[in-house]
Amino acid sequence: MSNGFSRREVMAIGGAVASTAAMTPLARARMMPQDMDRDVFAGVVRELRAIVGDEWVFADEASTISYRKSGIPDLRGEHVPSGAVAPANVEQVQAILALANRYRLPLWPISTGKNMGYGMATPASSGQMILDLKRMNRILDFDAELGTILVEPGVTYQQIHDYIEDNDLPYWVDVPTVGPIVSMMGNTLERGVGYTPYGDHFFMQCGMEVVLADGTILKTGMGSIENGNTWQAFKWGYGPYLDGIFTQSNFGIVTKLGMWLMPRPPAYKPFMVRSPNVEDVAAITDTIRPFRMNNLIPNGVLIMGALYQMSMFNRRADLWDGEGVIPLDVIQRHARANDIGMWNTFYALYGTDEIIAAIEPILTTAFEATGADVLTEAEMGGNPYFEHNKTLMRGGMTLEEKGLVRWWGRSGGAVAFAPVAPAKGGETIGQTQLATEIMNKWGFDYAPAYAVGGRELHHIIFLMFDKGDDEHSRKAEQCMEEMITRFGERGWAAYRSSVSTMDLVADQYGAANREVNARIKQALDPNHIIAPGKQGIA
């Protein structure tokens, strides 16, 4: 492991500071909205400045650099924004939408724009202007009796975590593995996951405020009842339930989001199940399922592959400098040296010591019957892999998994594929075999994790590549396409996708789905100004 930037690198960076764009060969030059000529664009930028103030419109090469950064392959410059605009409040969002309708300016909304593995802040097609909602960054409501929170788009999990600690509130916030820098809003709208009992984020969402393309402000559920106080307590409201159509969607701009928080339990005990062989994933899955269904295991369980885990703290060259993908026996050897197995399953118990003592032996017996070791703090305390998941299963803050992005070296690069399947052993074995075959064929290491919900699992596959090398990026792109296609042939589709594969995945969900989405889009946003291409919706 190296300890820092080399002197040469610092010099090189220093020399390039004057022209920020030059120091990041990976970032592409800004691209104009399609069908808009430069003068019109310049006029639009002037009007945007009048709405939000000069300093919150970014429309040149240097100031848009942050918005162009992404870790996924983009060889043909298909996901390059034209600029960004950052409103401070709902009124400014409405004014921007009115302007966008007038000039047909496509807007790509982001909350914190850290959609890592899926394209960060970059849009589904080039030329869109990023609508950066990060300045709307306040916790608007925290009901300490109900454990509910109402947040603006820019509120990060770290901010909520700090708020809870500063005010000594008896709640936990459930986080994705990258909590400190990402938003509750963006994550929940993408239907992201975490690892406490409140890990299915959209399940725990309650009420939202949406600004529609024509400026209408819609409060879902109980939010529009005059003098109402039930907005964050009751999800369903009256009539059709609308919240779902604003997730993974381009039907509106969400400006407020309600969520439920987990009461902090008096006792918490994390477990790790260490399985020695790749095939063990089937038995592990079949063991987890009934306990997730009857809730004896209450949290979002992670079955972590050894290579996924080791990619956090190591670079590829630390493990392997031979030809081709890293052989299984090498992975096994390193795993053993780190006291982990080929699969390591993390679950936790919450409640009182008595409750935990009653459930623990039931689970331990079941997992041991699969040939695994069931380990606790007593055996694993201090082991970085155990500590990592121990932190996550109590909603703690960590960015350790970011380490996997630099698996191949400094340039970084990772794109995610996350197919879902029923939580059955045969499915995990089938998916693991197929992903290994395809990824190894293209020269990529298969570094997996399975996140087990109730009856389903998300297979989290990070395709790690070197974005500094165009040939490698090209292979990553082709490998991803083959995975999506061949998984699709087996009936397995992604729950979410990178901006580069939205049409491909949308097709797998069928023509009727696409058509219904298109009709809703036409009704709500006839000029198609909000995030065209999002989830394959024009």
Select from ligand FAD, other proteins, none the partner in contact with residue 30, using the beta carbon and a kind-dependent cut-off of 5 to 8 Å. none
User: How far apart, in whole angstroms, are the C-alpha atoms of residue 402 and residue 115?
Assistant: 12
Our CB check for ligand FAD shows the closer of 141 and 353 to be 141
> Which 505-534 residues touch ligand FAD, going by CB under 6 A?
531, 534
Angle between helices 280-293 and 353-368 (to 10 degrees): 150
> Which 386-445 residues touch ligand FAD, going by CB under 6 A?
401-402, 404-405, 414
Identify whether the C-beta of residue 463 lies closer than 8 Å to the C-beta of residue 475: no
User: How far apart, in whole angstroms, are the C-alpha atoms of residue 186 and residue 342?
Assistant: 32
Which residues is 351 bridged to in the sheet? Answer: 267
Catalytic residues: 118, 495-496
Cβ–Cβ contacts within 10 Å for residue 419, how many? 25
The least distance separating other proteins from the CB of residue 24, rounded to whole angstroms, comes to: 5
Handedness of CA 339, 447, 294, 232 (dihedral sign): positive
| Residue 314 within binding range of ligand FAD, rule CB under 6 A | no
> Which 320-379 residues touch other proteins, going by CB under 8 A?
351-352
| Residue 254 within binding range of ligand FAD, rule CB under 6 A | yes
Pairing of strands 171-172, 253-260: unpaired
Residue position matching structure tokens 């603006």: 152
Residue (of 69, 52, 157) closest to 113 by Cα position: 69
Binds other proteins (CB under 8 A): choice among 49, 191, 402, 486: 402
Residue position matching structure tokens 């919706």: 537
Select from ligand FAD, other proteins, none the partner in contact with residue 190, using the beta carbon and a kind-dependent cut-off of 5 to 8 Å. ligand FAD
# residues near ligand FAD by CB under 6 A: 32
Our CB check for ligand FAD shows the closer of 115 and 148 to be 115
Handedness of CA 66, 70, 75, 79 (dihedral sign): negative
Binds ligand FAD (CB under 6 A): choice among 189, 273, 348, 415: 189
The four Cα atoms 76, 490, 120, 98 give a dihedral, to 10 degrees, of 90
The least distance separating ligand FAD from the CB of residue 357, rounded to whole angstroms, comes to: 30
Binds ligand FAD (CB under 6 A): choice among 48, 85, 129, 182: 182
| Residue 178 within binding range of ligand FAD, rule CB under 6 A | yes
User: How far apart, in whole angstroms, are the C-alpha atoms of residue 106 and residue 175?
Assistant: 31
Scanning 85-93, 189-197, 270-278, 485-493 for contacts with other proteins by CB under 8 A, the matching segment is 85-93
* Per-residue contact flags (x/-) with ligand FAD for residues 205 to 244, judged by CB under 6 A: ----------------------------------------
Residue (of 526, 529, 527, 537) closest to 105 by Cα position: 529
Identify whether the C-beta of residue 208 lies closer than 8 Å to the C-beta of residue 246: yes
Scanning 161-169, 195-203, 290-298, 330-338 for contacts with other proteins by CB under 8 A, the matching segment is 161-169
Our CB check for ligand FAD shows the closer of 345 and 370 to be 345
Cβ–Cβ contacts within 10 Å for residue 518, how many? 13
**Chain residues in the site for ligand FAD (CB under 6 A):** 109-117, 133, 153, 176-178, 182-183, 185-187, 189-190, 192-193, 253-254, 401-402, 404-405, 414, 531, 534
